[in-house]
Amino acid sequence: MDNLLEELLIEYRNISLKLIEDLNQDKYEFLEQGLERKDAIQQEIDGLNFSKDKFIELSKNLELETINNKLYEITMIKRNEAKDELTKINKTRQMRNNYNTANKTISFFNAEI
């Protein structure tokens, strides 16, 4: 049982490292698959019977907390970058709409009667 737990945690760690690498390289194609597999591993681990101490020991040896914190940080950075980009796009769209509306108003007043 401990070997299975260790194998699952190693796979979890490897997936997390791959997700970090993909995020750093702006490769978003396989993020959903990786996150789904991590969730499946968590569910498999939940179904196992193991000691809390063994889990903590394996987690520390594999540096899972550090890796997950790094993944979280990178995810937040990328999310904020995407939010900022969307905000810029919305401001640009709003400015363009305001400009077009102003031109329509000017054209109306400049029309010959």
- pLDDT value of residue 104: 64
Q: What is the pTM of this model?
A: 0.75
**Whether the predicted pLDDT of 88 surpasses 70:** yes
Nearest to 81 by CA among 28, 18, 2: 28
**Digit-coded pLDDT (tens) for 44-75:** 999 998 889 999 999 999 999 999 999 999 99
Residue ranges per domain, the chain?
2-110
- pLDDT value of residue 30: 87
Nearest to 4 by CA among 38, 64, 68, 54: 54
Answer whether 5's CB lies under 8 Å from 54's CB: yes
Nearest to 39 by CA among 5, 70, 8: 8
